[in-house]
């Protein structure tokens, strides 16, 4: 069934839909999406992924009461553009309003963002006031054959035109990379890879980490003008060693680990990393990924994969009881945050990118005060992270390129008939990341 031949506003398409209150996934025929606003784009979905954060809705923990099409990770082809595209009035707007074409291959971040308001211009695209999450009551999701993308010119990433995004790679290399990449690999850009890169970047660029990275004590590490040391004692090797914890080794945790290893290796910073998960199969996946990462992405450090209890002992041994410089909390659960607090040092930073629910945080004000701890929370501005995530995707095809191997993040690509079973298996930790092919 080819897209353009069958796409018509009067027709029906297949979609994976969630029904309240919980654990109810159905594959249904629903109407085709239509252009509702001049900035809309209609995309024919080639692949759509199942994500850990879909489970919050699946289990009925999100407070959502309305049925909707699932999924916020998708890649596809533009089949229809609203009237904003190619118009003279597109001048001064994001470039895609001028040059996005029918037939272009696009990947979308998991939220819509306008790309042109104050918030988006600063790069905080995940919190655009006009934003919405795909696969929610506010916006139908990508686990369908077709999807409407509002504010497409600000939201989409045009994989057919590498001149439309910034990159550390020359444009020819970007274009060359794209021809060799599987759609399943490029789909990692929709959420998990930018979110992993975001967690790593926030930790390494946090002011609390600056003394270790610059080799100068707080607060002299922030001053360009101060040279030499006064009454301070010289740093030892131990002082320049970053100790990092990663709590949660699902696909995002693994992306965060690969990203932080790459950054440390590029900057030749010495490190010790402890990667932690409750589930043995996820720990095994992390070990396989670490083994698959080439020497150019590992640098000079120690990397261990642990259970929770092992991690506490490991960090104590490594740091003489002081704790980790930074801890990445990738789970979005109170227990994971409590563990991050246990592991982090005084004057340390916790970066939390997991989706937390309505519970109070498991930390008292006194605990936060007593450790001088910095808490950095929230959703990844995925669209803004795409250029950095794309460069890492190119560099690390050794782990981001495969499907169904020991070291690949994606376990399998299945048809819609297996949707309900896959949600169930994913919920029970029996399968890792699954991708749906709506045309299979
Ligand atoms: Zn996701
Ligand atoms: Zn905006």
Domain CATH code at residue 426: 3.90.180.10
CA pseudo-torsion sign 21, 24, 25, 29: negative
Pairing of strands 146-149, 41-49: antiparallel
Asked whether residue 177 falls in the same domain as residue 219, the answer is no
Q: Which ligand is nearest to the CA of 114?
A: 2
Measure 193 CA to ligand 1 centroid, in angstroms: 10
Measure 373 CA to ligand 1 centroid, in angstroms: 28
At 1, the pLDDT band (50, 70, 90 cuts) reads very low
Q: Which ligand is nearest to the CA of 115?
A: 2
Number of domains in the chain: 2
pLDDT of 187 over the 70 cut: yes
If you average pLDDT over residues 14-42, what whole number do you get?
97
Q: Which ligand is nearest to the CA of 124?
A: 2
Measure 145 CA to ligand 2 centroid, in angstroms: 27
* pLDDT tens by residue, 232-258: 888 999 999 999 999 999 999 999 999
Measure 258 CA to ligand 2 centroid, in angstroms: 30
What was the pLDDT predicted at 13? Answer: 96
Asked whether residue 206 falls in the same domain as residue 351, the answer is yes
At 181, the pLDDT band (50, 70, 90 cuts) reads very high
What was the pLDDT predicted at 214? Answer: 92
pLDDT of 8 over the 70 cut: no
- 213: domain CATH number? 3.40.50.720
Last residue of a domain, one of 349, 377, 405: 377
pLDDT of 4 over the 60 cut: no
If you average pLDDT over residues 184-205, what whole number do you get?
98
Asked whether residue 135 falls in the same domain as residue 221, the answer is no
Asked whether residue 351 falls in the same domain as residue 216, the answer is yes
Mean pLDDT of the chain: 94
Residues less than 5 Å from ion ligand 1, measured at CB: 51, 191
Q: Helix H segments across 92-217?
A: 96-99, 118-121, 152-155, 171-180, 183-186, 192-204, 210-214
The answer to whether 418 and 435 are in contact (CB under 8 A) is no
Asked whether residue 222 falls in the same domain as residue 350, the answer is yes
At 177, the pLDDT band (50, 70, 90 cuts) reads confident
Measure 38 CA to ligand 1 centroid, in angstroms: 27
* Residue reference for tokens 């249904």: 28
Q: Which ligand is nearest to the CA of 132?
A: 2
pLDDT of 228 over the 80 cut: no
If you average pLDDT over residues 1-7, what whole number do you get?
48
pLDDT of 12 over the 70 cut: yes
pLDDT of 119 over the 90 cut: yes
Asked whether residue 367 falls in the same domain as residue 390, the answer is no
Measure 120 CA to ligand 2 centroid, in angstroms: 4
Q: Which ligand is nearest to the CA of 50?
A: 1
Asked whether residue 392 falls in the same domain as residue 368, the answer is no
* pLDDT tens by residue, 253-270: 999 999 999 999 999 999
Asked whether residue 373 falls in the same domain as residue 409, the answer is no
Asked whether residue 69 falls in the same domain as residue 186, the answer is yes
Range(s) of the domain holding residue 71: 3-191+381-436
Asked whether residue 305 falls in the same domain as residue 269, the answer is yes
Last residue of a domain, one of 329, 346, 377: 377
Measure 190 CA to ligand 1 centroid, in angstroms: 7
Measure 130 CA to ligand 2 centroid, in angstroms: 6
* Residue reference for tokens 């959502």: 64
Last residue of a domain, one of 355, 377, 399: 377
At 231, the pLDDT band (50, 70, 90 cuts) reads confident
What was the pLDDT predicted at 250? Answer: 94
Measure 188 CA to ligand 2 centroid, in angstroms: 23
Asked whether residue 133 falls in the same domain as residue 49, the answer is yes
pLDDT of 7 over the 80 cut: no
pLDDT of 5 over the 70 cut: no
Measure 117 CA to ligand 2 centroid, in angstroms: 4
| Direct distance between the N- and C-terminal alpha carbons of the chain, in angstroms, rounded to an integer | 10
Q: Which ligand is nearest to the CA of 134?
A: 1
Question: Could you give the percent of the chain with pLDDT greater than 70?
Answer: 97
Measure 129 CA to ligand 2 centroid, in angstroms: 6
What was the pLDDT predicted at 312? Answer: 98
Residues less than 5 Å from ion ligand 2, measured at CB: 114, 117, 120, 128
Asked whether residue 30 falls in the same domain as residue 18, the answer is yes
| C-alpha count within 13 angstroms, C-beta hemisphere, residue 391 | 15
């Amino acid at each position: 069934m080819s897209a353009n031949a069958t796409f018509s506003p009067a027709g029906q398409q297949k979609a994976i839909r969630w029904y309240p209150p919980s654990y109810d996934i159905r594959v249904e025929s629903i109407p085709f999406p239509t252009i509702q606003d001049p900035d809309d784009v209609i995309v024919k979905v080639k692949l759509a992924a199942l994500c850990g954060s879909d489970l919050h809705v699946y289990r009925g923990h999100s407070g959502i009461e309305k049925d909707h099409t699932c999924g916020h990770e998708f890649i596809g082809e533009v089949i229809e553009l609203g009237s904003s595209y190619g118009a003279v009035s597109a001048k001064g707007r994001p470039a895609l309003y001028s040059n996005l074409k029918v037939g272009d291959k696009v990947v979308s971040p998991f939220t819509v963002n306008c790309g042109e308001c104050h918030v988006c211009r600063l790069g905080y695209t995940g919190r655009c006031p006009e934003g919405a999450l795909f696969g929610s009551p506010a916006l139908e999701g990508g686990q369908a054959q077709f999807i409407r993308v509002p504010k497409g010119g600000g939201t989409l990433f045009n994989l057919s035109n590498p001149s439309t995004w910034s990159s550390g790679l020359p444009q020819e290399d970007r274009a060359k990379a794209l021809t060799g990449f599987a759609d399943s690999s490029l789909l990692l850009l929709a959420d998990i890879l930018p979110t992993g890169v975001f967690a790593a970047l926030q930790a390494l660029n946090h002011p609390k980490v600056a003394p270790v990275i610059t080799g100068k004590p707080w607060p002299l590490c922030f001053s360009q003008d101060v040279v030499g040391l006064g009454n301070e004692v010289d740093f030892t090797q131990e002082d320049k060693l970053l100790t990092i914890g990663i709590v949660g080794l699902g696909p995002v945790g693994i992306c965060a680990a690969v990203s932080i290893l790459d950054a440390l290796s590029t900057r030749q910073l010495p490190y010790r990393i402890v990667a932690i998960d409750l589930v043995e199969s996820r720990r095994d996946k992390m070990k396989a990924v670490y083994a698959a990462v080439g020497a150019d992405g590992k640098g000079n450090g120690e990397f261990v994969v642990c259970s929770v209890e092992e991690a506490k002992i490991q960090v104590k041994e490594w740091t003489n009881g002081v704790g980790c410089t930074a801890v990445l909390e990738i789970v979005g659960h109170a227990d994971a945050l409590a563990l991050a607090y246990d592991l982090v040092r005084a004057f340390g930073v916790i970066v939390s990118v997991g989706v937390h629910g309505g519970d109070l945080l498991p930390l008292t004000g006194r605990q936060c005060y007593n450790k001088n701890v910095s808490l950095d929370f929230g959703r990844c501005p995925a669209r803004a992270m795409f250029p950095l995530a794309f460069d890492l995707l190119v560099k690390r095809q050794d782990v981001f390129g495969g499907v169904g191997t020991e070291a690949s993040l994606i376990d399998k690509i299945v048809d819609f008939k297996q949707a309900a079973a896959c949600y169930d298996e994913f919920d029970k930790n029996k399968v890792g990341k699954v991708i749906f092919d709506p045309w299979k």
